[in-house]
Structure 1
Amino acid sequence: MSLAGIQAAAVTRPAPAPLRLLPLPQGRLPGWCDRFLQPVDAGDIFATRLWHDTTLAHALPRGATPLLGLCAEETALLPLLRGASGALQSLTTPYSLAWRPLQARGVGASAWQTAGASFGAALRFRAPLRLEALAEDAPGLEEWLAGIASAGLAVQRYRHFGNWHEALVPGAGWAGYLAARPPALRSTVRRKLDRAGRDFRFEMQTRPGPALDRAIAGYLAVHAGSWKPAEPAPGFDPALMRAAAAQGALRLGLLRDAAGQAVAAQYWLVSGGRAWLLKLAHLQAQRAASPGTALTAMMIRHLIEEEAVQQLDFGRGDDGYKGLWVAARRQRIGLVLAHAGHPLGLLALLRRRLAGWMGR
């Protein structure tokens, strides 16, 4: 059904149950949220307790208050933040790769529109709300947005960030994957792997324990000696690695020199045949040896040959190197939900209309 058809059908429906906004004083999701969450091995790592609890405990923006929006007779759950200004937004941070409304297990697809209407009704006469890191093709998204629009809100979309990824050819293995890379990268990988085999030692950590603690210390030392800026939430990456290791989802790789110093480090999360690259770095002092390139190749080779992953995902952003390792790009979007009954909502609508008049 088209968006217009969904909106027309909604006119005859009864008013949805009101949205409930619930605080999170403990800094983690309560147990009753589990019916909305995915298991760690289900292939949707950003809809798991692992991801949300680590974000709540270690990555909240300064002055933000976490909330849960419980929609339409508890059919959908929205992890949210109330910012220092009082405006609502999605529970997203600079570490977020994906966000979406979470539907209760066993609830049919038709409930998305009702949940959207419940959410939209609660936003009437409020300041605009911003939702980020949504997949354009997320199941139920159009129905949910139609429900929001039926409550009188304008839904404004914008481009948030690019996400580079690739579905691997079944049975192609590492050789097939490498053969599909650009010629320059193939040549570089072969040369750097040969050198890394002579000069460096590859290490991978996946489980909790002292070895993981040493590897995390190595990762942090590499990050500090790299080109990357300081982290906005320094505790997030170590906490996520430890939590993911406890549930079997972590793949932390390092290259160490002959003295045992880590010269490159990166970590991935794996779930349901998918692998996401969260962070990578190498020492600037070792740049000539390209340890980062060698480590990325080693990690991908391991993921393909030892774990038979079916999809690689290079996370957030359009860094130039990503298109060399994976071939497809998709757009993550943001949404501004605005109601003309609030001065800031009216201003957002006027700006949108002016942009339309000016052809932007």
Structure 2
Amino acid sequence: MWVKGEYFDQFDAAALAARGLLDRDAQPEMFDRLAWFRATWAHIAPGISPLIVRAVSEKAQAWLFFARQADGSLTALSSWYTLAFCPVYSGAPDDVVKLRLLTAIAKRMRHPAMKIGCIALRPVPVEDGTAALIAKAFVRAGWGATRSPATVNWIADLTDKDFETYWAERPGQVRSTVGRKGPKTQMEITIFDRFDEPAWADYEAVYATSWKPEEGSPAFVRAMAESEGSAGTLRLGIGKIAGEAVAAQLWTVENGKAIIHKLAYAEAATELSPGTLLSHAMFKRAIEQDQVTMIDYGTGDDGYKAGWMDRARPLEQISLFNLRRASGLIGYARERLSGLVRRAPVD
């Protein structure tokens, strides 16, 4: 199988080469789409310039999206809104083909003209084999690689479950809170599947009065809500008590999967449990009407997520070192000596 590697430093050039293979219709995961990487760069720009590398064969393609740093290293083109960073594929390659494509990318990036010493990628999924495959490909191409824990991703598997079954599996404290507070609070809940300006103002007002830290990039979140609203995948839940917004959640629902991106409630209304009541409504909507088979609660080992989810999946950071360059050799030696990481498996 022949494989060709090439790179781009502009999104328009990558889009022209991809010919739609990185668009919504071709990529089921929102974090794998060119539009997601464009928006991330436009609003957050995690480096001084983007670097997009592609490997092409007669059967498939693989893409990796990076951000160049001022010191010459690369990081994943991602942000705190990115729940999983993975190679992006087209053509449905199996693991053997994926390994060949990623190895070709790794070899291309090791070329002296690229001047790359170190690469850091996170958050990379472990359970589906992505982390192991990336490390193996780069090691085969002559890089040093280490893997270390980054965070976790909470999910609920809803295959063959209706809402009643799901709800019966929740901890008694969660179910009791909804049973006690729901009738007493009488919170009015509306779930929008299109972007709505007044509803967005309510979302921002709730967030501003919540326990949440200052939003990293409000413009990015709004752009995502507008885009997903246009696509019909937005689920923006607003809970009001006596006409005042006290809880808000931003979800997307697509291809049988719901993702919880943002949630907040007004601290002044804590005793009424508005966040729990809104979550109950959002989960019910996703399971009964949208008929999702999985709900993703994002990253972070927050204790409250365990009451709503089934299990946590590990996410890693992969550190890659070009052993042809001094910065790569020094970085790899430091990582190996730190005792905080493990050497990536080759086989």
What TM-score comes out, normalization by structure 2 length? 0.88
Contact 2:124-2:317 at 8 Å conserved across structures? yes
Matched, 1:115 2:101: yes
Secondary structure at the residue paired with 2:217? coil
Q: What's the CA shift for 1:147?
A: 2.8
Deviation at 1:232, TM superposition (A): 2.1
Relative to structure 2, which stretch is displaced further, 269-278 or 73-82?
73-82
Distance 1:277 1:173 in 2: 19
Partner of 1:167: 157
8 Å contact from structure 2 (residues 147, 316) kept in 1:
yes
Distance 1:350 1:139 in 2: 26
Residues 153, 298 of structure 2: 8 Å contact kept: yes
Q: Deviation per CA, 1:175-203: give whole Å up to 9, x if none.
A: 2111101111111121222234x2x2111
Query: Structure 1 CA distance, aligned partners of 2:281 and 2:81?
Result: 24
Select which of 38, 42, 67 maps to 1:81.
67
Against the structure 1 CA distance between its residues 250 and 87, is the aligned structure 2 distance closer, same or farther, given a 3 Å change threshold? Answer: same
Q: Are residues 1:157 and 2:147 paired?
A: yes
Shift of 1:290: 1.1
Measured in 1, the distance between the counterparts of 2:42 and 2:341 equals 44
| Structure 1 residues 152-194: Cα deviation after superposition (integer angstroms, max 9, x where no partner) | 1112111111111110151x42221111011111111212222
The SS at the match of 1:85 is: coil
Shift of 1:34: 5.0
Alpha-carbon distance in 2 for matches of 1:97, 1:180: 25
Amino acid at match of 2:189: F
**Map of 2:222 onto structure 1:** 238
Q: Cα 1:316–1:140, aligned 2, differ >3 Å: closer, same or farther?
A: closer
SS of the aligned residue for 1:345 comes to helix
Aligned counterpart, 2:170? 181
Please point out which of 175, 184, 207 is paired with 2:194.
207
Is 1:101 matched up with 2:91? Answer: no
Name the amino acid aligned to 2:209. G
Please give the root-mean-square deviation of Cα atoms over the aligned residues, in Å.
Answer: 2.7
DSSP-derived class of the 1:181 partner: coil
Secondary structure, aligned partner of 1:334: strand
Matched position secondary structure for 2:334? helix
Whether contact under 8 Å (1:249, 1:270) holds in the other structure is: yes
1:337–1:36 Cα change, 3 Å = farther
Displacement of 1:224 in angstroms is 0.9
The Cα shift of 1:344 comes to 2.4
TM-aligned CA distance change 1:169 to 1:138, over 3 Å: closer
Distance apart, 1:59 and its partner CA? 2.6
For residues 85 and 340 of structure 2, what CA distance do their matches in structure 1 show? 32
Q: Which residue of 2 aligns with 1:321?
A: 304
Q: Matched residues in 1 for 2:340 and 2:213: separation?
A: 40
CA shift in 2, pair 1:355/1:270, >3 Å: same
Give the AA of the match of 2:45: L
CA distance in 2, matches of 1:155, 1:229: 34
The 1:179/1:51 distance shift into structure 2, 3 A limit, reads same
The residue type paired with residue 170 of structure 2 is R
| Aligned counterpart for 2:260 among listed residues 277, 286, 289 | 277
Instruction: Return closer, same or farther for 1:42/1:174 CA change in 2, 3 Å cut-off.
Output: farther
Give 5+ residue unaligned stretches, structure 2: none
Query: Quick one: distance in 1 between partners of 2:27 and 2:87?
Result: 17
Q: Alpha carbons of 1:80 and 1:358: their partners in 2 closer, same or farther (altered >3 Å)?
A: closer
Taking only the aligned residue pairs, the percentage that are identical comes to 30
Contact 1:40 1:48 in 2 (8 A): no
> Structure 1 stretches of 5 or more lacking a match?
1-12
Q: Distance in 2 between matches of 1:176 and 1:310?
A: 13
Aligned residues: 337
Describe the shift of the 1:123–1:169 C-alpha distance in structure 2 as closer, same or farther (beyond 3 A).
Answer: closer
What is the distance in 2 between the residues matched to 1:41 and 1:143?
22
Q: Does 1:288 align with 2:274?
A: no
Is 2:145–2:320's contact at 8 Å kept on the other side of the alignment?
Answer: yes
Structure with more of its chain in strand, by fraction: 2
Could you list the per-position Cα deviations for residues 315-339 of structure 1 after superposition, in whole angstroms to 9, with x for gaps in the alignment?
0111110000011110011111112
